Structure 1
């Protein structure tokens, strides 16, 4: 969850530090006080599009930083961190975003500089923002199939994994078939190029690891004097009168003379004798190596010439001799394919047909699993909508597919994509007699708020995000619907931390914590500040939300009753 949020020089916010907790936190305040600005800051922290307009007038840059704590090390963000080489320790993640007055955006995750795209990858696993004004994943038909798969991962995931492997193989085979069946002129040009490259590489006659071996040999020849001198000095230090081995020999004799009188001397005498013979043998090795050293300037020139030739080939074919040899093998295979194109095309087509059939069977099983999941999801959504006084609404999950005009494996083959052959769309009819239509085409803001909340209530536990933010999703509702929305938001907060900007007293009354956002003038500049309300202050704020103006005893009484009702509802839920 989001535990700490720091904002500096952002819009009308001078400097602001907020602490958040589990459960439901509401943010209320007058229009223009800066409620949505705080959500904008969080959205930028999650990888949203930035603008110099966000930088406070007169400031050099705007800075936003958020600390997120995780309750498990199995969270998806650990996989994201591993993919991008960012270590996550102590179950904490810090996201940082800076926007300069010049328009530059600087992003960091746990102190490491990242691109905006990478910041977005981290952000979407931590924060889920819902507002009336943004296009959310729930409103995008292309994301509905992922949400359905997420709803019942136990039923769908393994089949989906097996299907994706087959689909990727199918795509690879089709790509190769297309390349091989291109027009004759292009293939002739390709064959000429490959033949030229193969001739050049065959003439080079490279051996495995040849570049490394030559580099090592060149180093020895180029440093002949240093090598000879080092070995000569080492040998001379060991061999000769009054030299290392001579003194070791004296030590061995001394120990031999005393070994009969002391067990320690006996033990160490044998040890010392062993070392003596090893060092003596080592000195002979040094002498033999020195005597066989030869300075060969002609060989050095040969090596330089050969390495220049290999380096020239490296620029064209690979970074090492082994990589060039591998490339040569691929060229030979491709030349053979092009030369015997027809037989290879027939073989590829057979492989494509077989792989399509295997992939289709997995896609069919995936389709059947999704149908089963869709039935359960539809029932659950209807139950949620009923609780939001949309009992007349009809929710449906539409499955469509397309024909594959390129496939030759069936009379009416289906077009496979990365998700199988299914195209899934969530549809709804909010009133009897109306046709089903896509979620994005629901006209009423109040109805849309309730539909989105019902979906979010269901998917919150499946998506695994640590923080869900509702930005005035309760707009356009009142009365019993407002109370129902409040209770649904509380249910979401049982699965994830929820931050909610609201104008509804029913929602505010249900909060575990209530923050009031206000603005004031300081040093002739407008600033925004936030304070957490006490129980008495909550009553006053709810009264203001009820009356919109003057606080009356009646409004305070009503606010007190709302808080008592909220407590009883939450206690009932806990029970």
Structure 2
């Protein structure tokens, strides 16, 4: 469940921190006060797309933070482990910042995540139901997804096995078609890849080889210059007749004789001594270099040929040896996956046929299981609709009996059919349901799913639109029933819904220092009476509406 929500510089909200409870919480207030903004913030924390448009005017960024109790879900635990997210005290802290540049920073328990991974986690935390879900009911291609939600663990394990088999079938089929579409060009490409692979492999390239060869070529190409320079340097330092070492040695002897007479003489003596020893070392190093030098014209030719080979390979396959080797790995992988021969194509065709039979077998199992689930779902929905004053409703999940075409979820195509009037035939839901009936259909589905799925937090964003009277009371009771299994936050304009809630938050706009901002406060019992009376009466609250508000709260047990 959502324990706490903090919002800063988001739309017309300057700064807001809310604490929520288990059970049902109603969010009420005048239209435009900012109720839906709070739901938008929750959606962003769960991975919905955001933009700089959400940032409060005059601010550089908006910040959102949510504290959630960790749902009891093995799937979520596996996901958190996969993403390297540690949990303490069974809590998750979800943070999201959006800057004016449009950059999003998402964190869960301090670990930075991509928006896609935040969305994966958010699916376990909050289920927001609003006008989009109404639209989902009006889209027949989404009905299969809704039906599958009603399936149990056994069904979802079967669906996963089907999807794995289908993915393998698609991969094999794609390989076979790739070969069949253009065998000649395929064979030509394979030949070319083999040639490239052999050419690169025969070169036996080493990652830092080119730099080492260039250095060696420079030395070999400047051999005589190097020998002359070393010889002259050595002679100047060690010549028998007159050399630098003897001169510095003599100077050192003379300065040592007078070093004790003055500190500056002593410093000069020490510097000459250091220079003498350094030059002795340099002379030794030069001598060793002269001894080790040798010139091999054949080796220079080998180096030049090797560098020319590397230049040609770079022109064909990459700008550096590491790039050439990376390309080599790519073509080696492609050849391993796509080596072609008549026998292999025939074998691949057999594998495709066998895998297709496996997929159809799983698809048929899915179909039979869905028919069972559909009957169970239809019965449950009719029961729920009766409790929402749609007593004569009949509901049915109809399967497309046309040509069976495999897709990622089987071959089934389904559509919801409904009739709400006795004697009238069942028709597609999209053609017969009014706004109020859609609200009740959505609540019926959510009641069923919340009992079977154990969703941690459910948000209803004005799903009670288009109803009143006893239907409004029935919807209120239905939402309260859902709150027995899940935390429920409900934006509503219906006093019946607000009254039945365990808690009520009042949302209003205020102008402070010339700026509009949203204020949210949890209502004490006596303030709930006034707010529900306002919802009943509109602009003018009378003693009668206050009594009616008290009666609604009393009926709800408050």
TM-score > 0.5, shorter chain as reference? yes
Structure-2-length-normalised TM-score: 0.75
2:547 corresponds to which residue? 557
Residue 440 of structure 1, CA deviation? 4.8
Residue 463 of structure 1, CA deviation? 4.1
> d(CA) in 1 for partners of 2:171 and 2:53?
46
Is residue 518 from structure 1 mapped to residue 508 from structure 2 by the alignment? yes
Residue 420 of structure 1, CA deviation? 1.5
Equivalent pair of 1:544/1:550 in contact (CA under 8 Å): yes
SS in 1 for 2:123: helix
Pairs within 5 Å for 1:346-495: 346-400=346-400, 403=403, 414-432=404-422, 436-441=426-431, 443-495=433-485
Residue 386 of structure 1, CA deviation? 0.6
Deviates more, 1:78-87 or 1:471-480: 78-87
Is residue 331 from structure 1 mapped to residue 335 from structure 2 by the alignment? yes
| Residues 1:15 and 1:75: Cα distance change in structure 2 (over 3 Å) | farther
Equivalent pair of 2:366/2:410 in contact (CA under 8 Å): yes
> d(CA) in 2 for partners of 1:365 and 1:471?
37
5+ residue gaps, structure 1, are: 215-295, 404-413, 569-575
Residue 135 of structure 1, CA deviation? 5.8
1:12 corresponds to which residue? 12
2:156 corresponds to which residue? 157
2:34 corresponds to which residue? 34
Is residue 315 from structure 1 mapped to residue 323 from structure 2 by the alignment? yes
| Residues 1:333 and 1:114: Cα distance change in structure 2 (over 3 Å) | closer
> d(CA) in 2 for partners of 1:486 and 1:451?
14
Residue 152 of structure 1, CA deviation? 2.5
> d(CA) in 1 for partners of 2:162 and 2:104?
39
| Residues 1:162 and 1:36: Cα distance change in structure 2 (over 3 Å) | closer
1:256 corresponds to which residue? none
SS in 2 for 1:57: coil
2:108 corresponds to which residue? 109
Residue 445 of structure 1, CA deviation? 1.4
Alignment root-mean-square deviation, CA:
3.6
1:178 corresponds to which residue? 177
> d(CA) in 1 for partners of 2:99 and 2:334?
50
Residue 61 of structure 1, CA deviation? 2.1
> d(CA) in 2 for partners of 1:89 and 1:424?
43
Deviates more, 1:459-468 or 1:415-424: 459-468
| Residues 1:439 and 1:497: Cα distance change in structure 2 (over 3 Å) | farther
Residue 108 of structure 1, CA deviation? 2.6
| Residues 1:461 and 1:333: Cα distance change in structure 2 (over 3 Å) | closer
Pairs within 5 Å for 1:71-82: 71-72=71-72, 74-82=73-81
> d(CA) in 2 for partners of 1:100 and 1:357?
52
Pairs within 5 Å for 1:185-334: 185-200=184-199, 203-204=202-203, 315-316=323-324, 318=326, 324=329, 328=332, 331=335, 334=338
Residue 41 of structure 1, CA deviation? 1.8
| Residues 1:438 and 1:66: Cα distance change in structure 2 (over 3 Å) | farther
Q: Give per-residue Cα distances to partners, 1:303-340, cap 9 Å, x unaligned.
A: 99799899977634549xxx95x9648637744x2xx3
5+ residue gaps, structure 2, are: 210-293
Aligned length: 469
Equivalent pair of 2:3/2:20 in contact (CA under 8 Å): yes
Pairs within 5 Å for 1:533-548: 533-548=523-538
2:57 corresponds to which residue? 57
> d(CA) in 2 for partners of 1:138 and 1:75?
29
> d(CA) in 1 for partners of 2:174 and 2:501?
56
Q: Give per-residue Cα distances to partners, 1:333-360, cap 9 Å, x unaligned.
A: 744x2xx33x333322222222211221
Residue 475 of structure 1, CA deviation? 1.4
1:290 corresponds to which residue? none
Q: Give per-residue Cα distances to partners, 1:93-124, cap 9 Å, x unaligned.
A: 22222233444433333333333333222222
Equivalent pair of 1:201/1:328 in contact (CA under 8 Å): no
Residue 19 of structure 1, CA deviation? 0.3
| Residues 1:297 and 1:550: Cα distance change in structure 2 (over 3 Å) | farther
Equivalent pair of 2:133/2:442 in contact (CA under 8 Å): no
> d(CA) in 2 for partners of 1:423 and 1:47?
29
Equivalent pair of 1:401/1:415 in contact (CA under 8 Å): no
Structure-1-length-normalised TM-score: 0.72
Equivalent pair of 1:155/1:369 in contact (CA under 8 Å): no
Residue 8 of structure 1, CA deviation? 1.3
Residue 419 of structure 1, CA deviation? 1.3
| Residues 1:151 and 1:197: Cα distance change in structure 2 (over 3 Å) | same
> d(CA) in 2 for partners of 1:108 and 1:545?
39
Residue 18 of structure 1, CA deviation? 0.4
